[in-house]
A and B are shown apart, each in its own frame.
Chain A
Amino acid sequence: MLRATFKSLLAHKLRMAMSAFAIVLGVAFVSGTFVFTDTLNSSFTDLFRQTAPDVTVRPEKAEAAAAGGFTGSDTRVVPADLVDTLAALPGVARADGDVSDQSTFIIGKDGKVVGGNGAPGVAANYNDAPAADGSPIVTITAGVAPTGPGELLLDEKSAATAGYAIGDTVRLVTSGAQPSVTGTMVGTVRFGESGNLVGATLTIMDTATAQQLYLGGADAFNDIAVTGDGSLSNQQLRDAVTAALPAGFEALDDQQIATENENQLQQGLSFITTFLLVFAAVALIVGSFLILNTFSIIVAQRSRELALFRALGASRRQVTRSVLFEALVVGLVGSTVGLLLGFALALGLKALFGAIGLDLSAAGLVFQWRTVAVAYAVGVLITLVAAYLPARHAAKVPPVAAMRDDVAIPESSMHRRLVGGTALTVLGAGLMVWALAFGGGLPPLGGGVFAVFIGVALLSPVIGRPIVTAIAWPYSRLFGTVGVLARENARRNPRRTAATASALMIGLALVTTMAVLGQSTKSSVDELVSTDLKADYVVSNAVQSPFSATIAAQIAEVPGVTAAVPERFGSAKVNGQQTLVAGFDGDQFGRVVAINVKSGDLQTGDDGILVTDTRAATDGWRVGDTVTVDLPAGPAVLRVAGIIATSNFVGADIVLPLAALEAGGVAAMDSLVYVDRAPGADPAAVSAAIGTVLADLPTVTLKDQKAFADSQRAPVDQLLAIIYALLGLAVIIAVLGIVNTLALSVIERTREVGLLRAVGMSRRQLRSMVRLESVAIAVLGAVLGVLLGLVFGISLQRALSGQGFAVLSVPVLQLVVFVVLSGLIGVLAAVFPARRAARMDVLRAITTD
């Protein structure tokens, strides 16, 4: 029995390979995701390990800032005399003061920023303090240490990328009081042991210069690195240091620093992991349809053989198991290939992230047994689950069938399917309506969408038939008998046609949902800019990191500018909950952006906050209430000055006045500056004058309303492109499903094909018959998918209308293109099966049994 199964598997290599391909893609995604994120994780962990000294002393951080990471930098410092105090403690070998900054970018010889795209531009003072593992944190690899203002070192890689050699004048942009800085490069450094900065750039200067640039010239440090003499463990050293610290400072050992960093890292990584795994899931779900179909057809074709097994004494269980065994082998092979492909995928991801600034070239791929286990578990499990129904079905073959010519496994009636499918669809639709009409929120909406999805998939054999008839309506007119035959072929096995089309349906439903949401976002952006943005210009930083507050001040001085209003962002614990907060002065901001004030007003003073109505509702705040906000320096008690409607320009649920942020220890760095022009001023002259202010800062750009809208739409397009590319995989799997079904149908209809040929059908006619059937199936999937996607997209847009999707916009042309493309996909999918049908030998075709 096992042998017979095995041989059957070998005999059906090609079709098995095609269904295995679905598993290969899904598993490749899963394992690629794991390998890549493990690699990222270990690169950063390495980095952290190479950076943390034995004990770090710093101003005490509010719990929120330590756990969640405050995105603005901390302005509070450690006094310089503490360094000597600590160095004199017993068990301490040395103590070194560190000054550092995360937004100092190197401008290359070509005038372009080196790195960027989210990776920090690190600047630090020079010292040769070692990390906890004893290795130097930075090593000078060429030249000498910087000794005065105007001397600096760059890391080797950034120097090479920027095109600087020792002796060259280097330009920097900083977020400090002095936004543009130049200096002479006097050498290069290597960071840690490997020089792996994961895309960040590193500039080193002497301590006095760093203090001048980043600490306003104060003789102080951001933190102090304490190195033990080896007589104490790092924990003991930490306790000894803590005992010697004045109030307001804290000491952390290397493990604590590493944990803190890793917690932050995990938050960042979990997004990437989730994103990629969602696509893996889509690929696997679509793939399971392909597997289910392939196995159903193989079982149908082998029914005579299976009946023979039954006649010769095989039990139902044995028949089921033999089919499942085939699935097991397909799953194992698919998982293995998928795992290997996953490594390739991880390499690709690494290169991709390298291209956008997260340089991992120094890191080797990290391979964990967990990845292998998950890959096989997922691959094999999905295959077995998908093959289970066909396997169960196979056991229903009556033994008598072995004696008959017209073998057919009895089909269970469509009745249960019809009832179940209708019930699910109605239930799902009800849930969606309820969620939309009564504000049930996203979870019930998602549940409804899922139920409708499954319901429609179940119903597809029933609803698919009339749709196929409609799609193939012009066939008989255009293609005569060939068209009629193609239409009937597409209709004769509704389950098979539907299952094949369902795979494409899922892919296209997702694509359409994304297209609707994407288009709505873009329209919403346009709408928002035209209605809410009162400012004439927006100044922002191209590398998504904040810039010096002096820029806003300088722009305000430009003749013809009536207002230059800065906005900042940070993250803080508000009323016990980690929250993104915006910083601006309400009365100023109201002049450049339309804000819908629900109650209170925008006059916040220095101690008033603005909150959105949604957040006010969840936390039960009213105007005049007091709210505690944990800032780096500690908790600040502020009062609610105004309740406003959610706005994309505000971009956060809580707004703090700039003074409150600065008092709380958040560096004065702006993310955006809104600029208003005097009514009579010449636009060209004003923008030219602002341009002069920004001339030294290639990372900061000035945009008028139109350019700003364009720049806000661009990321939507980029994200859509990535999502389309990933969903494209699901579509490829679906296409393979069509190829598989058609190829198998052609083999199954060998006798019929032979008959058609015998009565005079030409090869060309035969090919177009197969092609037309394929087009009908593909368009069926596309139509169902686009319809479902429209429903899902529109309801999601409705549900999210308050969150940047205010305007519904359906990309009709794009959807039509999807359907037409699907038809073309149908033509493509038919190439191989059609050729196979046309090649069939007439005689063999009519004599085969």
Chain B
Amino acid sequence: MSTNSSSAPMPTRHGNAAARAIDLRKVYGSGDTQVTALDGVTVEFRPGEFTAIMGPSGSGKSTLMHCLAALDDATSGQVFVGEADLTSLGDKELTRIRRDRIGFVFQAFNLVPTLTAMENITLPMDIAGRKPNKEWLDTVINTVGLSDRLDHKPSQLSGGQQQRVACARALASRPDIVFADEPTGNLDSVSGAEVLGFLRRSVQEFGQTVVMVTHDPNAAGYADRVLFLGDGHIVDEMNEPTSERVLDRMKSFDGAAHAGQVT
């Protein structure tokens, strides 16, 4: 239970936000088993910004991201990607938005096991029936440092390498915004640092917008801004975070929320 009111202190600038949510609610199930995962979230992501979303397990981080990324529909409220209101769109348009404007990095890598690294990277363009931009592809591949592994199948790559392939796939189609759900959750600290470094560089060097869900204060330290989620509400926000400050902030959450946290 959060002690904060449901209207969290949020900037409500409009115009050129990469994505934003207004009074977003998401309710799972019905009757006795009903769960309110998001309870009136209003949030905005600026272009070229690296945002981390943190909070205890079950606080609604993944749900928020799924709704923002057009993977799931909201129960009420509005979600915008650029100027497009996702809540008013049908499956066809949502598909097109996912395809053309959004990139994903998943906790479990989610590479297609039968395709090589290169084929996995170009998969979104394959699906869209588009030719990848050769120059950009080379840039991305060089940045993730995988040029000598492109013909390997996922099973022949380490976890860190697989996640870097996934990052390259997310960036290869030059999406407006990249969502990453605990991208380092399955990685050791060295591999995790590589992946985070890469996301950071994509923001710095290419001006990519990145939204990342994480448990790890160290991971949050790579972001420009951290949003803290608790029980379906945005409970706090921190700019220019460092891992120490994030850790401190998390320690200050009440014990009940803490207890549920999984690392």
Contact = CB atoms under 8 A, between A and B. Distances in A.
Interface stretch (B122-130, B191-199, B203-211): B122-130
A319 to B, nearest CB: 10
Contacts of B114: 4, 7-8, 10-11
Please indicate which of the listed interface residues B110, B113, B124, B129 has the most CB atoms of chain A within 10 Å of its own CB. Answer: B110
B181 interface: yes
28 contacts: A3-B115, A3-B119, A3-B126, A4-B114, A4-B123, A4-B126, A7-B119, A11-B114, A305-B112, A308-B112, A309-B123, A309-B127, A310-B95, A311-B69, A312-B169, A313-B98, A313-B99, A313-B100, A313-B124, A314-B95, A314-B99, A315-B95, A398-B72, A399-B71, A402-B106, A403-B66, A403-B71, A405-B108
A1 B108 contact: no
A626 interface: no
Interface of A: 1-4, 7-8, 10-11, 304-305, 308-316, 318, 398-400, 402-403, 405, 849
B91 interface: yes
A313 B126 CA distance: 10
Given A316-B91, A316-B95, A400 B112 contact: no
Contacts of A316: 91, 95
B92 interface: yes
A1 B181 contact: no
B87 interface: no
A309 B120 CA distance: 11
B152 interface: no
A316 B110 CA distance: 19
Contacts of B108: 405, 849
B249 interface: no
Contacts of B245: none
B62 interface: yes
Contacts of B106: 402-403
A313 B69 CA distance: 11
Interface in B168-189: 169, 181
B228 interface: no
B258 interface: no
Nearest to A7: B114
Contacts of A849: 108
Contacts of A11: 113-114
B112 A4 contact: yes
Given A11-B114, A304-B110, A313-B100, A4 B95 contact: no
A305 B113 CA distance: 9
A442 B69 CA distance: 61
Contacts of B107: 403
A1 B126 contact: yes
Interface string B101-141: 01010111010111100010001101111000000000000
Contacts of A304: 110
Given A11-B114, A316-B95, A318-B127, 14 more contacts: A1-B129, A3-B115, A3-B126, A4-B114, A4-B126, A310-B98, A311-B71, A312-B98, A312-B169, A313-B100, A313-B128, A315-B95, A399-B98, A403-B107
A314 B127 contact: yes
Contacts of B71: 311, 398-400, 402-403
A312 B104 CA distance: 8
Given A316-B91, A316-B95, A7 B115 contact: yes
Contacts of B129: 1
